[in-house]
Structure 1
Amino acid sequence: MNIKRSLVLFLSSYGCFLFGQEKAVDTIYIFDSQMNKVKQFHPVQTIHTEDAEKNSNNLSELLRFQSSIYIKENGRGAVSSPSFRGTTAQQTAFVWNGININSNFLGQGDVNNIALFGYDQIGIKAGGGSVTYGSGAIGGSIHMDNSLSFNKGFHGTLFSEAGSFNTYNNFVKGSYSNDKFSFKVSGNYSVSENEYEVNKNPKNYINRNGEYYNTNFNVAAAYKLAPNHQVSWISEWFNGQQHFPILFESETKTKYQTQNVRSLISWDWNTTKFNNSFKAAYTEENFEYFNDIDRPKFSGGTGKNYILKNDFNYFLNSKWNFNIIGEYQHNKGEGYGSGIDKVHRNMGSVVGLVRYFPTSDLRLEAGIRQDYVGVTKSPLLFSFSGKWNALHWYNLGLSISRNFRAPSFNDLYWRPGGNENLKPETSYQFEVRNQFKTGDFKLSLVPYYMDIRDMIRWLQTPFGYPSPVNTDHVRSYGVETQAEFTKRFGKHFLNVGLGYTYTNSQDLEKKKQLMYVPFHKFNGNIGYQYEFIKVYAQGLFTGLTYTDSNEKESEALKEYFVMNAGVGATFLKNYTLGFKINNIFNQTYYTMFAYPLPGRNYSVNLNINF
């Protein structure tokens, strides 16, 4: 949200619009103009850079240990995909500064081909959000957000880490701002030989051909043209390479390369009665697959998106707010080795949201959305959310929504097999949020129910090749719980976070749990600080996880418990030296059949602030 010399302040603690005297305040500009509005009605877990440094190898590791998401990873640093509330990777939306960046071809995001560093915060929102963030936001959404501050002068950060398996992570960031201009630049480089050995029967596993590297560069700037007008720009460049692990020495080594570009320009206009954010964005994905690392590429593709988006907010009074969002996209794709020639489609959407604040303790929001997605007929979407601070120690939330996923380019145009007559996947979702607070202790209990229809599956045809069809009807229900305790006493600070999720996600035709959806997941994070010393511990328990659609226990992933710990010491005010142990008990564990993750491993890091 852009907080300016304005009479209107959107206050998350009260969920209403308050009018006061004109006051000069430092601006914090967040590129995702909807995120602070979303937080008014839905819990969003926020992970800042300091927390990201605890799981600094990749985004998969971070989400596995610090969220309720199940991450399926084909070996450390390899292909990785998320599962929110028992849904698939295609039903998770990755959102970069308010722009959906799921692949045009696959309809999903590869977690390990999205940078971990370079964002000011990573937001995790469970539950449907298609009304706001479009296709794919069925199970949940993962938000990579950047912000710019004014009147802060110069600041810089350097984080450098060396770890087991010849792993090196380096991140540098610098920023400068005065009362009218703000600038920020950052760069990240991660590389690992990644050849680890895991003790298992009947023979030890060696992660052969598992090396990877990636680089990421971000630059952002904002300028205040006038008290009510601001222009801003942000761009990101990502380049990565993954070698895919082989199980036997005799196998042919393969690899995957990807290059992504994202750029966004925004003009924001704020007055007493309204604010408007107009954005123009360009995103591009390039990828190449090599079925033999010593030969030319075997397949690949290039996808380009041209995006225009306008977000208009009107404040009728302190109780009513009207929000209209319009978006247009032109998507282009060109495949290599996939039968996809040059394809394109036009996409558009119109969103209407109404927010009502009858009292300071009650807030309500209703929204509708209509998408226009090329040859695909899209459903009318809706959402309703409410939050009631019923008692000083208890508040109740409610959310009902209809969400969707449009078929991807691969679904529609892969040759042979693409199906241009596919319907979009749709879902209905209902959840109740119960939040309790007493002193320094918070507890949330969120039961949910989801009904997903027309899930797209690739099935074998009589012609000898697979083709996508709308077949599955999936019902998913469960509960998410989160407990938090924070306490500061003198020079001591203690923070405890514990989470548990139960997920029952079944194909209603087979009445079997979906593959790679564990029934139970527990994660915990504990941190303690005394003066210049910080220590933390992380625990992760994942229950039995089926790897096929028939609940075959002989091929299921066994339950496991993994624990990490770290310590950091700050000296000379701006220097912090840290040491981490991952998988302390040397547990053998899998998130993907046949590809175990590393045993006990170590790293040391240095963080400098200047």
Structure 2
Amino acid sequence: MNKKKRYAVMAAAICVFMYADANDTIRTGRIDEVVVTAERSRKTNIFETIPVQSLSGNDIRQLGLQNIADAVKRMAGTNVKDYGGIGGMKTVSVRNLGAQHTAVSYDGITVSNTQAGQIDIGRFSLDNVGMLSMAIGQGSDIMQTARHYASAALLAIETERPVLDKGDSRLRLALKGGSWGQLNPSVRWWCQAGENTMTTLDADYMRADGRYPFVLRNGKEKSNEKRNNSDIEQWHGEANVLHKFGDGGSLDTKAYFYHSQRGVPGSVVLYNDNSKERLWDENFFLQTAYKRHIARQWKLAIRAKYTHSWNKYEDTNAKYANGKKTEVNRQDEYYTSATLGWKPTSWLEMALAEDVAVNKLRTTVNGSPNPLRTTSLTALVSKAKYGRMTIEGNIVMTYATESLTESEKYAIKKPEDRKKLSPSLSFSYRLLPDEALYVRAMTKSTFRLPTFNDLYYLQIGNTSLRPENAHEYGAGMTWNSRPIGPLRYVALTIDAYYNDVTDKIVAFPSTYIWKMVNFGKAEIKGIDATMGTEVDIVKGYSIVANGSLTWQEAKDKTEGSATYGSQLPYTPKVSGGLSVMLLTPWVNVGYSATGQGKRYSMAQNTREYQLDGYMEHSLSLSRDFLLGDNMLRLQLTVNNITDKQYEIIKYYPMPGRSVTASATLDI
């Protein structure tokens, strides 16, 4: 279907639901405010028109997961690239669209990295996470930002917000330690400063030497080695002020700081894993979000954010003129967003979102013109619920322009301005009026702008690059059972999808050097399935189980390519995860497993580049103790209990068996 036809179908669908006749009655009146608190349901994804998977903070802690990447690996359709170790970089791709197509949101506002285009999710702490969710396409909140609507997938991190009475405060002290020198103290403090104001403070420190053992194999020979240059030391702190106004509005302000210094472990090839590369990272952002209903049918959300990122890369090697290579990069982003929502009837909602971002890069890398990019995103959104059907549609308009401060010095041509319309449409239908059985389907067009590295890095950058386009198509079925005796629920989802990526940005060899070009094309087909259930065994004893399974075929369809028809690198055909929690009055037991089938490190699908499949198992034991008015939680986690040696990235061995112990005191 061509662009004009897609736009016409979407416009017609939206118009039909805008002017349909609904026989709902609206009653108005005033009632006293009622505050209801409860744990979020694990089953809400079945009602959405798009696939959404989530993990609550409590589930994450019960399973003893160590970082955000460990949690994301348990979600269907996700592919996490992990370079191993506690401090290794970790990025996430959804349905093989690439990490640059996946947006990462922190308390409702996206995290940016215009230089590289991908976010290292390993830097985020799990200690203060209240909910972690992954949505294919945008999130489910109609009042979200235009950046969310423009993404192909959205990983949303929401921090925990306790409910306190006026004047109350809570303090949480935690200490975690484990294998390979891991030490991780943290402190959290919440205070209800006034009837309508809450303040929170979070701080944590983590260090580890990362010298985990592994077996090095070279043909028939093998030796026991230890990983080198995999140490990390990091600090993280954030402060929040959450205020509610008398008119129903709210203002949330967050200041966030992260600093780390780490070794960059090299690849292990022919008994040589020596590496003297070091990386320093700093990230600071200040963000604020204001929300309120401005009339019975209207609501407004305004967000603003300033981000400063700094990183330094250093490599000590005799091949450099002075024996050392140093690169320093600084990024600044000024971002603002406004979303206006309108609900003219009980069955129809509409929204208009406008985002503007200004990104600036300053680097010591010779040849960089220090670019500045201004991006405007406009999203027009409609969501209608009529009877048993829900339909959502949006159109995102993107405009990006760049200026180069030193273009003449390096003879670099300014890129052309980029304009793009990206439509999306999704729906769900409840098949039976008395059963939570739904079918759903979606189509979504997105693209990702070339990163600053794609355009300008050294001599391989190419300012003539076009945006990389992705078209997503999916259909599926979801079901949630009613409680049956001790069975609280069973939730099942299955979704089939087809993704078409064109103008893929790849590094391509030219006469003398590599060059970034729009050369690639990929077709991705797959099936995602998830399962969740909770069973009461006897009073005080219950089991919670969740599982995910993905089958995926991602082929290189680049005309003239020597690897045409081959499975894309690092794409297993089968992957999945399982978690089971046994909850008892005495001790809680959490078991989890993740695994992948065989895959290839290169586009050539030969035995030489094959990575074997693996399954990693973890076990966690925890118990809560009531000490007067205080609560103490002790937890012991054994990761990779079978001591399985495997690699996610070739020549980067993952850690074997490790033990982590933690104590958390709530005062």
| Per-residue deviation, 1:565 | 0.4
Partner of 1:468: 516
Partner of 2:535: 487
Question: CA contact under 8 A between 1:376 and 1:422: conserved in structure 2?
Answer: no
Partner of 1:381: 422
Partner AA of 1:289 in structure 2:
Y
Match 1:263 to one of 286, 294, 313 = 286
More moved, 175-184 vs 109-118: 109-118
Instruction: Determine helix, strand or coil for the equivalent of 2:652.
Output: coil
1:203 and 1:139 mapped to 2: Cα distance?
44
Q: Please list the CA deviations of residues 196-241 of structure 1 after superposition, one character each: whole Å capped at 9, or x if unmatched.
A: 1113432234211110122211111122333233322112111112
C-alpha distance 129-335 of structure 1, shift in aligned 2 (>3 A): farther
Partner of 1:276: 300
Partner AA of 2:623 in structure 1:
A
Instruction: Determine helix, strand or coil for the equivalent of 2:316.
Output: coil
C-alpha distance 446-132 of structure 1, shift in aligned 2 (>3 A): farther
C-alpha distance 356-252 of structure 1, shift in aligned 2 (>3 A): closer
Say whether 1:187 aligns with 2:197.
Answer: no
More moved, 509-518 vs 68-77: 68-77
Match 1:233 to one of 236, 253, 256 = 253
1:437 and 1:40 mapped to 2: Cα distance?
12
Question: CA contact under 8 A between 1:365 and 1:386: conserved in structure 2?
Answer: yes
TM-score (norm 1): 0.90
Partner of 1:58: 67
Say whether 1:416 aligns with 2:459.
Answer: yes
Partner AA of 1:42 in structure 2:
I
Question: CA contact under 8 A between 2:130 and 2:161: conserved in structure 1?
Answer: no
Partner of 2:327: 299
| Per-residue deviation, 1:559 | 0.8
Partner AA of 1:419 in structure 2:
N
Question: CA contact under 8 A between 2:45 and 2:51: conserved in structure 1?
Answer: no
Partner AA of 1:160 in structure 2:
L
1:149 and 1:116 mapped to 2: Cα distance?
16
Say whether 1:170 aligns with 2:171.
Answer: no
C-alpha distance 17-94 of structure 1, shift in aligned 2 (>3 A): farther
Match 2:575 to one of 512, 517, 521 = 521
| Per-residue deviation, 1:349 | 1.2
Say whether 1:289 aligns with 2:310.
Answer: no
Say whether 1:368 aligns with 2:382.
Answer: no
Say whether 1:215 aligns with 2:235.
Answer: yes
1:123 and 1:91 mapped to 2: Cα distance?
16
Partner of 1:24: 33
C-alpha distance 37-300 of structure 1, shift in aligned 2 (>3 A): farther
* Structure 2: gaps (5+ residues): 1-23, 38-43, 402-415, 483-488, 559-563
C-alpha distance 297-136 of structure 1, shift in aligned 2 (>3 A): farther
C-alpha distance 250-184 of structure 1, shift in aligned 2 (>3 A): closer
Question: CA contact under 8 A between 1:376 and 1:421: conserved in structure 2?
Answer: no
Instruction: Determine helix, strand or coil for the equivalent of 2:73.
Output: helix
Question: CA contact under 8 A between 1:267 and 1:277: conserved in structure 2?
Answer: yes
| Per-residue deviation, 1:89 | 1.9
Match 2:49 to one of 21, 33, 41 = 41
Q: Please list the CA deviations of residues 412-445 of structure 1 after superposition, one character each: whole Å capped at 9, or x if unmatched.
A: 2223232222111111111112112223111110
Instruction: Determine helix, strand or coil for the equivalent of 2:296.
Output: coil
| Per-residue deviation, 1:249 | 6.3
Match 2:601 to one of 547, 550, 557 = 547
Say whether 1:396 aligns with 2:396.
Answer: no
**Structure 1 residues 108-127: aligned runs within 5 Å:** 108-127=118-137
C-alpha distance 148-559 of structure 1, shift in aligned 2 (>3 A): closer
Question: CA contact under 8 A between 2:64 and 2:590: conserved in structure 1?
Answer: no
Q: Please list the CA deviations of residues 229-273 of structure 1 after superposition, one character each: whole Å capped at 9, or x if unmatched.
A: 332211211111220124456834111111011211222221321
C-alpha distance 250-196 of structure 1, shift in aligned 2 (>3 A): closer
C-alpha distance 39-137 of structure 1, shift in aligned 2 (>3 A): farther
2:601 and 2:334 mapped to 1: Cα distance?
38
Instruction: Determine helix, strand or coil for the equivalent of 1:316.
Output: strand
Partner of 2:480: 437
Partner AA of 2:196 in structure 1:
K
Instruction: Determine helix, strand or coil for the equivalent of 2:615.
Output: strand
| Per-residue deviation, 1:127 | 4.3
Partner AA of 1:572 in structure 2:
L
Partner of 2:495: 446
Partner of 1:565: 619
* Structure 1: gaps (5+ residues): 1-15, 29-35
TM-score (norm 2): 0.83
Q: Please list the CA deviations of residues 135-159 of structure 1 after superposition, one character each: whole Å capped at 9, or x if unmatched.
A: 9966522112236566543233233
1:205 and 1:127 mapped to 2: Cα distance?
43
Partner AA of 1:387 in structure 2:
S
Match 1:584 to one of 611, 619, 641 = 641
Q: Please list the CA deviations of residues 86-124 of structure 1 after superposition, one character each: whole Å capped at 9, or x if unmatched.
A: 222222222223333231111111232344444432221
1:457 and 1:589 mapped to 2: Cα distance?
27
More moved, 170-179 vs 365-374: 170-179
Question: CA contact under 8 A between 1:505 and 1:513: conserved in structure 2?
Answer: yes
Question: CA contact under 8 A between 2:460 and 2:516: conserved in structure 1?
Answer: yes
Q: Please list the CA deviations of residues 307-333 of structure 1 after superposition, one character each: whole Å capped at 9, or x if unmatched.
A: 110011111010111101011111111
Instruction: Determine helix, strand or coil for the equivalent of 2:115.
Output: coil
Question: CA contact under 8 A between 2:46 and 2:493: conserved in structure 1?
Answer: no
C-alpha distance 250-400 of structure 1, shift in aligned 2 (>3 A): closer
Instruction: Determine helix, strand or coil for the equivalent of 2:239.
Output: strand
* Cα RMSD (Å): 2.7
C-alpha distance 179-250 of structure 1, shift in aligned 2 (>3 A): closer
More moved, 379-388 vs 293-302: 293-302
Paired-residue identity, %: 18
| Per-residue deviation, 1:493 | 1.7
Partner AA of 2:68 in structure 1:
L
Q: Please list the CA deviations of residues 383-416 of structure 1 after superposition, one character each: whole Å capped at 9, or x if unmatched.
A: 1111222220411111111111011111122232
2:610 and 2:642 mapped to 1: Cα distance?
22
Question: CA contact under 8 A between 2:476 and 2:494: conserved in structure 1?
Answer: yes
1:225 and 1:38 mapped to 2: Cα distance?
34
The size of the alignment, in residue pairs, is 586
Partner of 1:100: 110
C-alpha distance 190-471 of structure 1, shift in aligned 2 (>3 A): same
Partner of 2:345: 317
Q: Please list the CA deviations of residues 542-592 of structure 1 after superposition, one character each: whole Å capped at 9, or x if unmatched.
A: 100110001122221101111110111111261111111111111111101
C-alpha distance 27-303 of structure 1, shift in aligned 2 (>3 A): farther
Match 1:593 to one of 618, 629, 650 = 650
Instruction: Determine helix, strand or coil for the equivalent of 2:228.
Output: coil
Partner AA of 2:649 in structure 1:
M
C-alpha distance 18-501 of structure 1, shift in aligned 2 (>3 A): farther
Q: Please list the CA deviations of residues 22-60 of structure 1 after superposition, one character each: whole Å capped at 9, or x if unmatched.
A: 3313499xxxxxxx9998533432223333334543332
Rg larger in structure? 2
Partner AA of 2:394 in structure 1:
G
More moved, 244-253 vs 186-195: 244-253
